Structure 1
Amino acid sequence: MSDITLYELPGCPFCAKVRTKLDELELDYDVIEVPRSREERTEVERVSGQTGVPVITDESEGVEGMHESDDIVDYLEETYA
């Protein structure tokens, strides 16, 4: 189990942007695919307080429920590049 977890929806371009950055930085991460229905996204809502994706958590850095793809990419670059 990795420290970083990405909550994503397959086909989501914003999620793909985050996944690309994670791969570019060669980071290990776990992926949790959220349901299409926002009403069923209870796990990501519990973690981040909202139902949109992408969302990441990073246990090693104390990050819980970061959302917004641009913010996530900036965070990953500043922390791991």
Structure 2
Amino acid sequence: MSESELPITIYRLQACPFCERVVRTLTELDVDYRSRYIEPMHSARNAVKRVTGVRTVPAIIDRNTGVTMAESANIVEYLERTYGERGGQ
């Protein structure tokens, strides 16, 4: 992570395999992140709904690019496309 980059915020649940997939990708790409653990009960996930418009997790906020998104496959694709080539810079 460059010094000017802000950490990505990931909204997640404990032991959620879809959330772990995103965390694993962040770690592999050496992208700094902060976890926000949210309520397990779907109807109580107001914090993530305020940010993304949905109550599903994982969800990320990337303040470096202005991207907010949910759905692990989409997030992983975004992270690889956006941060995957940094090693060659």
Coarse TM-score class (shorter-chain normalised): over 0.9
Q: For 1:10, which of 9, 14, 18 is the aligned residue?
A: 14
Q: Deviations over 1:29-66 (max 9, x none)?
A: 110001111122111000111111000000010112x0
Distance 2:37 2:75 in 1: 17
- The two structures, once aligned, show a CA RMSD in angstroms of 0.8
Within the candidate set 9, 25, 28, 1:24 is matched to: 28
Q: Which runs of 5+ in 1 are unaligned?
A: none
Q: Name the structure 1 match of 2:83.
A: 80
Q: Contact 2:7–2:31 at 8 Å: present in 1 too?
A: no
Q: Which runs of 5+ in 2 are unaligned?
A: 1-5, 85-89
Percent sequence identity over aligned pairs: 44
Task: After the TM superposition, list the runs of 4 or more consecutive aligned residues in structure 1 that deviate by more than 4 angstroms.
Answer: none
Please list, as runs of the form range in 1=range in 2, the aligned pairs for 1:26-65 lying within 5 A after superposition: 26-64=30-68
Q: Which has the larger radius of gyration?
A: 2
- CA distance in 1 between counterparts of 2:66 and 2:44 reads 26
